Structure 1
Amino acid sequence: MGVRKYFFIAYVVCLFVGVMPCEGRQLPSDTTSRPADSAFIIVRNIVVKGNKKTRTNVILRELGMAPGDTLQLHGIAAQLENRRRRLLNTSLFLTVGMNIKNWEGRHADLVIEVWERWYIFPIPIFRLADRNFNQWWVEQGRSLDRVNLGVRFIQNNMTGRNDEVKAELQIGYTQRVALFYDLPYIDRTFRHGVGLIFAYSRNRELNDSTFNNKQVFFRQDQFIRQTWTAGLSYSYRKAINTRHQVFLTYNYEKVNDSVSHHNPDYLGDGRQRVSYLNLLYRMSYTNTDSWMYPLKGMLFQAEAEKMGIGPLSDFDHVRFKLRIAQYWTLYPKTYAALGLRAQVKTPANQPYANQKAIGYQEDYLRGLEYYVVDGTSFFIAKSTLRKQVYEFNIHMPLLPERVSTIPIRLLAKVYGDGGYAYSKRYGYGMLNNRFLYTGGIGVDIVTYFDSCLRIEYSINQLGQKGLFLHTKLDM
């Protein structure tokens, strides 16, 4: 009973947070009057049911089908499953079902039944200030001073166009307020979108230098760092799987004189404040079975960024970044994955604040979580072999029938990573400007919304071993 209570709490939290829609049920096809000798059917009508908030034309846009399109009878179940997952990946629905009905010769109707999720809710914020759980738990002694608390108010699907408003209020290690609005469709062709960005934060402590590939923090009682960001975004999405985005932001950062004295190179030349315009272009291609925990398909993301535009900008660099991941099904319940992350930034002579390479955010090698490798350019290659070893369901009788069954999957894995970071100014650490490699074994626990807990035992090239915990995608 204790296990059931635990997973019930986990489910309610995930449902409230809205990380990702769960897998819906595939409705059986109505084969009445189905032509046995037809190689394909023509979709006569597409009927959508259950969408009280979401506009039908938005659903049809994400579906990628229209009346008059054809479906091959051979493999029709797989075709419908692919379309169903497209709708689930929008994060608009808890379940999606598809049914082929009213067969007449080569024509039939496609009936889609959706169950919309909650769209308005506050989400509590509990966020670690450190780069990963292990660094906070081991190196920072599980200090609650390095925890951020707050609330995030989210209004999803505000106008029925899958638009989203986020407002954040955070206290703790970093005090922060932020407001974001994203409208993916502003035209009748459902291709163009716009967004607004605003954020302000301040800290009493900051990472102002690195020693032996470990972050060094500088702290005072008063606030020593403040940042402002405001800007606009534009998106273009002609195809279902490909999206182009442009972000134009104004950025301002200020530190007090103690920071510039402690490390004059933090912002460069002993400066206490910098401001600059930043232009970022991003192209994303996603064609996977799941956006949160993919096992089949491909991810591709490319970025080009110009930090510093015009004479009033204090920073000046150009950055190119690439992320590629390919996922395969080798055998039933056996999966392989290869991933690449790479960055090139020029010029190489940058202030410390612009020298973050391996070890920051999601750009890390499994087994080197305790280290950072500063630099302007890097690459990381990752490989993983997974095998699903166990799966079971937990039934929650108090929940609605459609979401009363919680699926749990356990996948065992082996993995190996390699990488390299180049730094012209900070190349004196034991891990800088040299090839890095790690490996290990682990277990992924995957449940509702394809959310995942990764438990990994890794070893790095220094001979160091350890158990590491993660909750985000490893590619």
Structure 2
Amino acid sequence: MRTVLNISATWLLLFFALPATGQQRDTVATATLQPLSLDTNYIIVRNILVSGNKKTRTSIVLRELSLKPGDTVYLSTLAETLEASRKQLLNTSLFLNATANVKNWEGRSADLAFEVWERWYLFAFPIFKLADRNFNQWWVEQKHSLKRVNLGVKAFQDNLTGRNDDVYADVTVGYTQKFLLGYNLPYIDNKFRHGIGFVVSYSRNREINYISDGNKQQFFRQDDFLRKQFLLGLTYTYRKAISTRHQLVLNYYNESVNDSVVLRNPDYLGNGRKDMNYLELAYRLHYIQADSWQYPLKGLLVSGEVSKVGIGPLSGLDYLKFRVKATKYWELARKTYGALGILGQAKFSSDQPYIGMRAMGYSDDYLRGLEYYVIDGTSYFIFKSTLRREVLNWKVKLPIVPKKFSNLPIRLLVKTYGDMGYAYAKLTKNGILNNKMLYTAGAGLDLVSFYDTCIRFEYSINQLGEKGLFLHAKLDM
């Protein structure tokens, strides 16, 4: 039995110091209302008042509210409507807290007042990141080698100009040498619908996962750099409503590998090539209607992508990809929550070089309990189900730190889960998990804190009969 713990030092730094992204759930009371004495069943919104936003522009706050001056709100749904608006402000990741209230009631009209508490927007912290897919793989299979650790510095300035824009950069040395710089401006027009962004990065490695054998990654290392990658990306965003976001992405990639890689796997880049260039043009759709955008317990999340990799002369990789992800969250009873999610992807054609065959086991696309394995392929689906029960909800008073950060909220949820999946590959190298249904199950704990960051303790079993304790620092679905 493999029983290992998995946690990132970078996450611990953010958890016990100051968080950088996400929202904080239930840190303030829900929307409050002034006593009403008029014989009416609705109000007309006269003005929307915003306070507490020292850096964030008021127009950005108003953009996130579905309520507008002149709207009619029925008293029977007023508290619910204000609470939904309050939570939406928290979902922007701009604020620690928010409150909503009714003020200046006159006749059938009144003002709606929103007060926000801005968080810190400038962060710089050291990077201590494992190069492997998860902690368990690094600790057990790679024998917790410090040669497989990335060190560096990451910095970002959120809300740079008060328009919810952000600039970010990181410099990494160690297993991977990498430089990255990016910027996102969500709104460039007066109607707050169109946005742009860019990212540029360069990385190189002395060790490379050059092939998979028996659903295990095989690595090769030497003193010279074995792989180099350059990326230049541009993004256009369209967001007319609050819940739906459309994106067009254009990425340019340059990949090159050492002769030694080609000798060991001529199909790494395909046809014995040492380098390639390719373009990726993608359309992405994101829809979320949930109580939280970072740790949802009620609502719906849907995302989809259609992308063409390889355009004109820049077609080192060449395929058409379709990808969809959908998760539904329910409150089944008080403090009891269920979730069902499905993720699917298909690539055409199925004849791809090794770097175009990554399916399950990479990034967040894995079955809980199969963290030690990769299942290469061009098409796959994953189905996940989770039942959660909140058992603890309390706050810890932190010393020294500023007052608005001093109350550390901690929530503990117990859970059970079951996953299933299937990955198709035209050709595999001793792939015992390819082209067959896979099943896993388990039980665990979710520890949720600032901005709904989450540590997951999970004890899982897979269809091979293998059991293990896994620790993750991301939401599972």
Same fold (TM > 0.5): yes
**CA displacement at 1:161 relative to structure 2:** 0.9
| 1:464 maps onto 2:444 in alignment | no
d(CA) in 1 for partners of 2:263, 2:118: 55
Aligned to 2:131: 129
Task: Provide the residue aligned with 2:170 in structure 1.
Answer: 168
1:29 and 2:32 matched: yes
Measure, in 1, the Cα distance between the counterparts of 2:296 and 2:23: 14
- Closer, same or farther: CA 175–17 of 1 in aligned 2, 3 Å: farther
1:340-355 paired onto structure 2 within 5 Å: 340-355=342-357
- The answer for the alignment partner of 2:375 in structure 1 is 373
> What is the total number of aligned residue pairs between the two structures?
466
1:309-458 correspondence runs (5 A): 309-396=311-398, 398-426=400-428, 428-458=430-460
How far apart are 1:11 and its partner, in Å?
8.5
Over 3 Å counting, the alpha-carbon distance change for 1:335 and 1:249 in structure 2 is same
Q: Secondary structure at the match of 2:307?
A: strand
1:93 is aligned, of 74, 95, 98, to 95
Q: Structure 1: which amino acid aligns with 2:167?
A: V
Moved more, 424-433 or 340-349: 424-433
C-alpha contact 2:31 2:79 (8 A) present in aligned 1: no
* Pairwise CA distance, 1:19: 2.5
- Provide the C-alpha distance between the structure 1 equivalents of 2:275 and 2:123, rounded to a whole number of angstroms: 37
**Which amino acid is 2:217 matched to?**
Q
Counterpart in the other structure of 1:3: none
Q: Contact (CA 8 Å) 2:31, 2:101: kept in 1 or not?
A: yes
1:6 alignment counterpart: none
Relative to 1, partners in 2 of residues 1:346 and 1:14: Cα closer, same or farther, differing over 3 Å?
farther
The 5 Å alignment of 1:98-247 reads: 98-247=100-249
The answer for the alignment partner of 1:272 in structure 2 is 274
Distance in 1 of aligned mates of 2:13 and 2:102: 31
* 3-state SS of 1:313 partner: strand
Q: Residue in 1 aligned with 2:310?
A: 308
Alpha-carbon contact 1:17-1:123 (below 8 Å) kept = no
CA drift at 1:28: 6.0
Partners in 1 of 2:407 and 2:118 — Cα distance? 17
Deviation at 1:12, TM superposition (A): 6.4
- The amino acid across from 2:22 in the alignment is M
Letter in 2 for 1:416: G
The answer to whether the Cα contact below 8 Å between 1:228 and 1:251 also exists between their aligned partners in 2 is yes
Matches within 5 A, 1:60-99: 60-99=62-101
* Unaligned stretches of 5+ residues in structure 1: 1-8
Percent identity, please.
56
Q: Secondary structure at the match of 2:371?
A: coil
CA pair 27-426 structure 1, distance change in 2 beyond 3 A: closer
Distance 1:123 1:355 in 2: 34
Distance in 1 between the 2:314 and 2:403 partners?
59
Q: TM-score, normalised by structure 1?
A: 0.95
Distance 1:404 1:312, change over 3 A: closer
Kindly indicate whether the alpha-carbon contact (under 8 Å) linking 1:282 and 1:302 is maintained by their aligned counterparts in 2.
Answer: yes
CA distance in 2, matches of 1:14, 1:184: 30
Say which SS state the counterpart of residue 433 (structure 1) adopts: coil
CA distance in 1, matches of 2:30, 2:321: 47
Q: CA deviation at 1:312?
A: 3.5
- What's the CA shift for 1:125? 1.5
- 1:449 is paired with a residue whose SS is helix
Deviation at 1:51, TM superposition (A): 1.0
Kept after mapping to 2: 8 A contact 1:149/1:172 = yes
Residues of 1 paired with 2:461 and 2:261: CA distance? 36
Please list the CA deviations of residues 204-240 of structure 1 after superposition, one character each: whole Å capped at 9, or x if unmatched: 0111101111100111111110000112110000110
